[in-house]
Amino acid sequence: MISLKDVQDARERIGKIAHVTPVLRSTQLTNICGNQIFLKSEHLQKTGSFKIRGASNKVIHSIEKGAKFVTTASSGNHGQAVSYIANKYGVPATIVVPENVSKCKVNAIQAYNGKVEICGTTSSERLPRAQEIAEQEKGVYIPPYDDPFVMAGQGTLGLEILEQLENVDVIIVPIGGGGLISGILTAVKETNPKIKVIGVEPELANDTFLSLQNKKITAIPATKTIADGLRTSQPGDLTFPVLMRYLDDIVLVSEDEIRQAFRFIMERTKQLIEPSSATTIAAAMFNKLNIQGKNIVSVISGGNVDIHEVQQLIVNTVE
Ligand X SMILES: *Cc1c(COP(=O)(O)O)cnc(C)c1O
Catalytic residue annotation:
51, 301
Nearer to ligand X, 49 or 260 (CB): 49
**Minimum distance from CB of 128 to ligand X (Å)?**
20
Task: Decide: 179 and 149 in contact? Cβ < 8 Å.
Answer: no
Segment near ligand X (CB under 6 A), from 159-167, 173-181, 216-224, 305-313? 173-181
Segment near ligand X (CB under 6 A), from 32-40, 60-68, 169-177, 243-251? 169-177
Q: In what order do the strands lie in the sheet with 170-174?
A: 23-25, 36-41, 295-300, 170-174, 196-202, 249-253
Q: Choose which of 105, 177, 189, 205 interacts with ligand X (CB under 6 A).
A: 177
Distance from C-alpha of 71 to C-alpha of 262, rounded to nearest angstrom: 32
Q: Rule CB under 6 A: say whether 277 interacts with ligand X.
A: yes
Tell me the residue length of the chain. Answer: 319
Segment near ligand X (CB under 6 A), from 179-187, 241-249, 257-265, 288-296? 179-187
Q: Choose which of 139, 143, 153, 229 interacts with ligand X (CB under 6 A).
A: 229
Size of the site for ligand X (CB under 6 A): 21
Q: Rule CB under 6 A: say whether 178 interacts with ligand X.
A: yes
Nearer to ligand X, 139 or 275 (CB): 275
Which amino acid belongs to residue 40? K
**Minimum distance from CB of 167 to ligand X (Å)?**
26
Nearer to ligand X, 123 or 277 (CB): 277
Nearer to ligand X, 69 or 217 (CB): 217
Q: Choose which of 24, 274, 284, 291 interacts with ligand X (CB under 6 A).
A: 274
Q: Choose which of 176, 187, 262, 264 interacts with ligand X (CB under 6 A).
A: 176
List the x/- string, 121-150, binding to ligand X by CB under 6 A: ------------------------x-----
CA-closest candidate to residue 147, choices 82, 101, 84, 211: 82
Segment near ligand X (CB under 6 A), from 91-99, 229-237, 252-260, 289-297? 229-237
Residue 184's H or E segment, with its range, is helix 179-189
Task: Quickly list DSSP for 43-105.
Answer: GGSGGGBTHHHHHHHHHHHHHHTT---EEE--SSHHHHHHHHHHHHTT--EEEEE-TT--HHH
Q: Choose which of 2, 73, 133, 175 interacts with ligand X (CB under 6 A).
A: 175
Q: What interhelical angle do 77-88 and 103-111 show, nearest 10?
A: 20
Buried/exposed code over 19-40 (b: 16+ C-beta within 10 A; e: otherwise):
eebebbebeebbebbebbbbbb
Dihedral (CA of 279, 282, 286, 292) sign? positive
Give the contacts of 234 (CB within 8 A, at least 6 positions apart).
207, 211, 217, 218, 219, 220
Nearer to ligand X, 86 or 185 (CB): 185
**Minimum distance from CB of 300 to ligand X (Å)?**
8
Task: Decide: 48 and 80 in contact? Cβ < 8 Å.
Answer: yes
**Footprint on this chain of ligand X (rule: CB under 6 A):** 49, 51, 76-77, 145, 174-181, 229-230, 232, 274, 276-277, 301-302
